[in-house]
Amino acid sequence: VAAVLIAFTALIKCAQLPVHGWLIQVVEAPTPISALLHAGIINLGGFLLISFAPLISLATGAQWLLLILAGISLFISALVMMTRISVKVRLAWSTCAQMGLMLIECALGLYEIALLHLFTHSLYKAYAFLSSGDALQGYHLAQFSKPKKLGMTSAFITLFIAIISLTIVVLISRDVTPISIWLLVSLSFAMYFTTAIKKLFSKDVLFAVITVSVLLSFYWLGKSLVAYLVPEMPQAMMFSTMDIWITVVFISLYFTSIALSMYPNAALTKTLSRWFFSGLYLDESMTRLTLILWPVRLRNNAHRHPARHTQ
């Protein structure tokens, strides 16, 4: 019971759906406040789970609670982010998705990756919010506002590269790390590789290979250093039920995002885009339910304290 309550606390603190409204609705705050919120306060849920890692690792119910709610939040938040135009709103939904991924890492027992994720996400979000004012002049933020679309060929190349790299990892690796994490890493780098190059035989290919190699090196170095700060905990086994569930979430997110970007004028895509743009109306529904359960009653003190008239 204690582990389940801790998991609920982490879900609320990390602004997971449907209790995410408190994070999305404060984007109108000054940008430095948003940077502090998204780079610091939002991470407390992750640090809570890491602190209680021995307890969470023994509670299967708490792990499944995190996997189901965080997995759904990751899927919806990432797709909602694709439909928004405002930089700060996109970053807010990105935080929901990133926190969902971090909670998934904790539920799978990958606490060293979760801690590394918290550190790097804090640095990235602080920089992204503080530099959001340069959106009109900054080319990188302009590209972030309108992500480059993957064509059909690029989508299949991305999937092919991801499958090949994933197969190599499974065949030669003795590690029992859940396959879902390797799938996410493979898809991320494969998608970057296919969108970074314009021609098969050009300097873009060399640049993409070097970039991916450097990023993988930094990831391995950071993971190795952070591992000394987190006690070793049992992980979800490769191809376990938990691992398969998260794998399905990642694959569904990949194909849905590709479909939304490749067929923007299709009737189904337009309908889905409208729903995702509104966040599936989850925040509004949750607010109405909360007001039904706990209605707000304002006390009228006008009769108790009549206005004093001065001559």
Which of 63-77, 107-121, 292-306 has the highest mean predicted lDDT (pLDDT)?
63-77
pLDDT tens sequence across 93-148: 999 999 999 999 999 988 988 988 888 888 888 888 887 766 555 555 445 444 45
- Rounded average pLDDT over 298-303: 63
CB 108 within 8 A of CB 227: no
CB 213 within 8 A of CB 152: no
For residue 242, the model assigns a pLDDT of 92
For residue 145, the model assigns a pLDDT of 45
pLDDT tens sequence across 185-234: 777 776 666 665 555 445 666 666 677 677 777 777 777 777 777 777 88
For residue 68, the model assigns a pLDDT of 95
For residue 273, the model assigns a pLDDT of 87
For residue 147, the model assigns a pLDDT of 46
d(CA 14, CA 4): 15
- Rounded average pLDDT over 241-255: 90
The pTM of this model reads: 0.81
Dihedral of CA atoms 213, 219, 220, 221 in degrees, nearest 10, equals 110
d(CA 111, CA 281): 33
For residue 141, the model assigns a pLDDT of 46
- Rounded average pLDDT over 85-94: 86
Q: How does residue 29 score in pLDDT terms, banded at 50, 70 and 90?
A: confident
Written in H, E and C, the secondary structure of the chain is CHHHHHHHHHHHHCCCCCCCHHHHCCCCCCHHHHHHHHHCHHHHHHHHHHHCHHHHCCCHHHHHHHHHHHHHHHHHHHHHHHHCCCHHHHHHHHHHHHHHHHHHHHHCCCHHHHHHHHHHHHHHHHHHHHCHHHCCCCHHHHHHHCCCCCCHHHHHHHHHHHHHHHHHHHHHCCCCCCHHHHHHHHHHHHHHHHHHCCCCCCHHHHHHHHHHHHHHHHHHHHHHHHCCCCCCCCCCCCCCHHHHHHHHHHHHHHHHHHHHHHCCCCHHHHHHHHHHHCHHHHHHHHHHHHHHHCCCCCCCCCCCCCCCCCC
Q: Where are the domains of the chain?
A: 2-285
- Is pLDDT of 251 > 80? yes
Q: Is the peptide bond before 306 cis (omega within 30 degrees of 0)?
A: no
